[in-house]
Amino acid sequence: MRSKLVAGNWKMNKTSAEGEALVEQFLDAMNDHVPIDVIVIPPYLSIPRIAEICRRAPVKLGAQDVFWMDEGAFTSRVSAKQLHEFCADYCLVGHSETRGKFGQLEVPETTVGYFAETDETINLKIKKLMFYGIKPILCVGETLAEREAGKTDEVIASQIRGALDGLEAAELYELIVAYEPVWAIGTGVTCDTPEAQRVCSQVRLVLAEVADADVASNARILYGGSVKPGNALELFSQPDIDGGLVGGASLDPKGFADIVRSAIQAGG
């Protein structure tokens, strides 16, 4: 049986000191009892300090992105080799914001293209993370325009196939896929539960085609996009939703603890 997982993506929020306090307050709210996999994903600069907490606490460390080369003239990039130094357990790849697709646009549209990456670069990142033993969390999701055009399943299948191109089934048993409809990220709008379940079941079907039935059965599929304490239990109780990738709500330690409790209650 797949175990539940909840990951908190802090995005570009919190200093190192603020992040440390957040994790400590979350652990206090949980009474240091965290019986499922919980990942905190801080900004790069906070990783060394948060890594120290993760070494002695029942939470795992994640990173928000990675570059696919070990070293070189790649200003501002961070390599898997560098993440490995701080014992990062997980890393996001293909988040809609690194793809240049934003739910709630907070920057001028003229700058969005500078964030964009492709299925090819995501594929390279996944392969490099696996080389260093860091588990990738592959993010997939459609924009509002793609959903309204009836292309949700097509877009997500294409993203999965491109990201996993050239990988053998044996390499994918610990893969995590997070379905985040772009139109629900940071907007307060959540994909209704039956549709979230339907899309996550489609993700599992595509994984069976790309890899095999065992990979599809074992893969943990998360839902992301305005996950909150009020909707977490209903979402996490669905048969193909194995937890959540939580954005803004992960910045509130008590609220994040409530979301984790929902995952435990849903069958952690």
Catalytic residues: 95, 180
Residue 183 DSSP label? G
Q: How far apart are CA 220 and CA 176, in angstroms?
A: 5
Q: Which helix (H) or strand (E) holds 139?
A: strand 135-140
Which segments of the chain does DSSP mark as H helices, in order?
16-29, 47-56, 80-85, 119-131, 144-148, 152-163, 193-210, 213-218, 229-236, 253-265
- Tokens standing for 51? 């890594």
Instruction: Quickly tell me which residue has 């701080």 as its tokens.
Output: 86
**From residue 1, how far is each of 58, 60, 219, 244 by CA, in Å?**
21, 21, 10, 17
Q: How far apart are CA 88 and CA 39, in angstroms?
A: 10
Nearest to 5 by CA among 182, 175, 188: 175
Beta strand 37-41 pairing with 5-9:
parallel
Counting Cα atoms < 13 Å in the Cβ hemisphere of 160 gives: 30
Please give the full DSSP string across 25-45, using - where no structure is assigned.
Answer: HHHHHTTT---SEEEEE--GG
